[in-house]
Chain A
């Protein structure tokens, strides 16, 4: 695939991203949002301004952050583990996030549940990574430990769900994944944090290109490679943590976006970086738009829409020629 074709692909993705951004911000369940677009240049105190300022803008920012983070996180883990089915939550993220959210609902009636989920996610992945050790690091160990931690935590979550029937509905809803209305951090802080992590990720892209080569090739670099792997896994955990902070536990995007990006621009990670950020953001923006309008005024959890749209896409990638099953 030649360079100009890849750049063109990313340009097209950028255009789709802008359309998705417009739809998610301005379009409603029965209009295309032209009046809202005009309104956004002169915000006042009326309902429409509050709608934009308090609801739509923060929602879109979070959708973009979550999509980009999930896709990048998935891409890194798939590259490190050399397993196309690896997903961002593999390092115990979903377990930790789930426990954090449950804890917040049980003890503080849902106060800052996103922040609890975020901290829980980071603690769980920290535990898993430290347990695997940096010196004797191996990806298999990481996946199996992460799996065990996830299972252990989900058994606790199920127990809590069963023993607190009055909270079951709320907990199920929160655990399904949805754009968080209040993350405990201001949207600006969140966005700056996102940019910083994005910059760090960008620095790892050349390294990821290098890591495409067999691990054993240069024995003198072998220990350094392990360190890079750990750095990438830590980075992907932080990225996944960011996604938990903004949208809770969302599956699929982290698996699918890297697959689509691989199909579109291959595994040159310098291009895949942009492709993943855009694809992940488009995916969540559009899903959120659909979740918002499909059975208005009822709200379906974003996680449901994503799983509903994501599962068929995922199966398509599994069975298509040159797809996952033919790797």
Chain B
């Protein structure tokens, strides 16, 4: 669980947040959505503790936070397996990885259905596979909190769903997970808690509270048709 209390942040005259309180709970997949340039990535960085804001209180009971930025640079000339194994070389005197560490990598690759790609060079992987590889790094590094900045933005529909499902499963196992997305359909299908950020307001709530015509109008300035049916939400832009 990570909570942010009384967050006020302004750059010059542009106020991003004013007294924001927000909690990302364990076991819930938190989705952040909103317009460009409203400080979604900044919020993730504040949650991760990388950015400190005066007056705001950030509390976390997570052991290890993993942050996936929008842009990731990949090394050239190593296989997927070696890429993920990199996470274990953090000690100067440890020239070799142990057998159990290698098995852990293989197991993680197996759960992410990437085992057959383990000997492919990183630069030859598709962007969907690369995103999964990054998740694998997060898993083997023992992170219990994932902060993901648009993990699905460049992916095809199938991979978007795949990643979202995996994240959903991880949260069910007790992981704290916050991701930024622009896809409301995806968010409404897999998210548990939602944060909508617009120029000067932040709206939040669970699925039922968040996805209302009024909220979406306030955040995006667009008219939506919102329908509930068997706990599912159907969104349509109604312009």
Contact = CB atoms under 8 A, between A and B. Distances in A.
Is there any pair of Cβ atoms, one from A and one from B, under 8 angstroms apart in the complex?
Answer: yes
Interface string B36-79: 00000000010011100000000000001111110011111111
Contact of A327 (B72, B76, B137, B141): B76
B75 A217 contact: no
B146 to A, nearest CB: 11
A9 to B, nearest CB: 13
A205 interface: yes
B17 interface: no
Nearest to A210: B89
Interface in A311-327: 327
Contacts of B65: 218-220
Contacts of B49: 219-220
Contacts, number: 78
A116 B115 CA distance: 56
A36 B76 CA distance: 45
A203 B86 contact: no
Interface string A206-234: 11011011101111111000000000000
Report which residue of B64, B77, B87 has the largest number of chain A beta carbons within 10 angstroms of its beta carbon: B77
A209 B137 CA distance: 13
Contacts of B68: 216-217
B90 A210 contact: yes
Interface stretch (B91-99, B103-111, B173-181, B190-198): B91-99
B83 interface: yes
B95 A205 contact: yes
A270 interface: yes
A192 interface: no
Nearest to A264: B77
B75 A212 contact: yes
A262 B94 CA distance: 22
A202 B120 CA distance: 27
A269 to B, nearest CB: 9
Nearest to A79: B75
A267 B66 contact: no
B78 A266 contact: yes
Nearest to B47: A219
Contacts of B86: 209-210, 212-213
B92 A206 contact: yes
A82 interface: yes
Nearest to B49: A219
Given A210-B90, A267-B77, A327-B76, A217 B82 contact: no
A9 B36 CA distance: 50
B67 A217 contact: yes
A1 interface: yes
Nearest to A223: B50
B73 A82 contact: yes
B92 A267 contact: no
Contacts of B93: 203, 206
Given A203-B92, A204-B92, A219-B65, 13 more contacts: A82-B73, A209-B89, A210-B86, A210-B87, A213-B83, A216-B68, A217-B134, A218-B67, A221-B90, A222-B50, A267-B75, A267-B76, A270-B95
28 contacts: A82-B73, A203-B92, A203-B93, A204-B92, A206-B89, A206-B94, A206-B95, A210-B89, A212-B78, A212-B83, A213-B87, A214-B72, A214-B73, A217-B68, A217-B134, A217-B137, A217-B138, A217-B141, A218-B64, A218-B141, A219-B50, A219-B67, A262-B76, A262-B77, A266-B78, A266-B82, A268-B78, A327-B76
Interface of A: 1, 82, 202-207, 209-210, 212-214, 216-222, 262, 266-268, 270, 327
